[in-house]
Amino acid sequence: MTPRKVNISYALENSTTIFGRKTAIVSGNKTFTYEDVNRMASRIANGLLETGIAKGDKVALSCPNNEYFPAIYFGILKIGAVVVPLNILLKKQEIEYHLRHSDAKILFFHEDREGNISEGWNAYQNVETCERFIAICSDASKIKQGMTWFEDFISDEDRFISAPTSQEDTAVILYTSGTTGRPKGAELTHGNLFDNAMALVGLMQLTSRDVQAVALPLFHSFGQTVQLNAGFFAGCKLVLLSRFSAEETLSVFEREGVTVFAGVPTMYWELLHYPHLEKFDMDRISITMRLGVSGGAAMPVKLMEAFEKRFKMTIQESYGLSETSPVACFSRIDIPRKAGSIGVAVPGSEMIIADENGNPCQIGEIGEILIRGHHIFKGYYKNPEATKEAFQGGWFHSGDLGRMDRQGYFYVVDRKKDMIIRGGYNIYPREIEEVMMRHPRISLVAVVGEKDEKYGEEVVAYVVLKEGKRVSEKEIMEWCKSRIASYKYPRKIIIVESLPKTATGKIKKRDLRKK
């Protein structure tokens, strides 16, 4: 059977045909129609072709939530090249790794909030396989020899028809850390992203009348699929927030008449506990707001109930991973909701709870969540061992523990691995431990998660110093801040004489979590 031809950029092109002059993006005080976004994406696609980028080539993109992200994202996809989204908080060494491992030929790098591009530029210069650095900045005087200014890169030709890629062609490589400590690149296909986005259009009952507030970072699978791709397929207006703040988000709710908001539980917590809610017309917000979607971490039932009561809206929980494009399970609007449940498998997805041998568990029993369906990634880029480990018996093994009730509702119970979820971001202890072990005065490190009311979990590092060495906990934290992305460096450093170990010498992290 010949794979069907599909390109996720159809989300933009189809809505341009249907909704043309309707507002697609609001970014700060600027608005862009679907025609505007499609023209810019086409100019980028033509610019890439003129540079020699071809179908299948990897193009890295580091950009906050603004008008550039969707235009570059879809411009890359239009020619059948592969998008490698980078977390904008990554540091030089982390960017280097992603560029080198992904075989990225071009890096689009947006200036940070202070107008700097040095983090990306310094990383790029150390990666011989990356051929061009495209600087997205407001001031051409910042362009150094060897850089290309974005305005000089884009083509004058603003028409481009997307390449007919196969459903099995890789569209995006999303990097997600693993137990090895090195980020793994999950290859998501055009079929994965297309089908998952279309399923969400139905599950969220999106229409062209919806206005979405987009505070989730678009470089993350949650914001990318649930809001950008699904939103564009439905012809929604997307109001982009460069970063989340409760005050700015509430202002957008009121000013733009937002109907749909998606976020991690921490965002809902901050909105609910914003100390000056009286500044906003809550009745007006409640009239337009119809739906909230929560994901990235389990939302406490009490938080959900309190938020729904205050904002007079419904929150639907979702569950998934980068490897599942990302949504595998959703608390549907059209069926009763159950407290603490992540809902039921999305259309086209199968989920079971299995024991250690991969056999289905009895109803109510706890086991690992296994998934298969249209949205499951094709594998980890250049990592066949990890791919083989993830796929056993025809199922993707999530590494999460859960249970299922008689009605097919799923509940996440715990994590099989040591992953920490802080404010919706997945943080893997081994990766942090490897960095911290490079400190000249540190002998041993164990990183664990500690429950936190605001972020869900906080990162804690237990440190054993080298014999005869002295360094303060504050000094270690400052050292970490300069080498580890701001969302994942340890917020608490605890210096100890020794760490509890098993008979085989492994650190007993369970004992540390009890402290």
Domain ranges, ordered by start, for the chain: 33-189, 420-513
Dihedral over alpha carbons 447, 448, 450, 452 (to 10 degrees): 70
Residue 256 has pLDDT above 60, yes or no: yes
| Average pLDDT of the chain, as a whole number | 93
For the record, the structure tokens of 211 come out as 């206005």
For the record, the structure tokens of 447 come out as 């990183």
DSSP strand pairing (170-176 vs 147-149): unpaired
Q: What tens digit of pLDDT does each residue of 264-289 get?
A: 888 998 899 898 999 999 999 999 99
Confidence label for 503 from pLDDT (cuts 50, 70 and 90): very low
Q: Which residues contact 70 (CB under 8 A, 6 or more apart)?
A: 12, 24, 25, 37, 41, 218, 228, 232, 238
Confidence label for 177 from pLDDT (cuts 50, 70 and 90): low
**Exposed / middle / buried, residue 472 (Cβ in 10 Å: 0-12, 13-18, 19+):** exposed
Give the whole-angstrom CA distance, residue 122 versus residue 120.
Answer: 6
Q: Comparing 61-70, 236-245, 314-323, 334-343, which segment has the lowest mean pLDDT? A: 334-343
Identify the CATH number of the domain defined by range 420-513: 3.30.300.30
Residue 506 has pLDDT above 70, yes or no: no
Q: Name the packing angle between helices 68-78 and 34-51 (round to 10°).
A: 50
Higher pLDDT, 6 or 502: 6
Higher pLDDT, 515 or 66: 66
Identify the CATH number of the domain defined by range 33-189: 3.40.50.980
pLDDT of residue 428: 75
pLDDT of residue 123: 98
**Cα–Cα separations (whole angstroms), residue 387 to 10, 178, 188, 323:** 29, 12, 13, 11
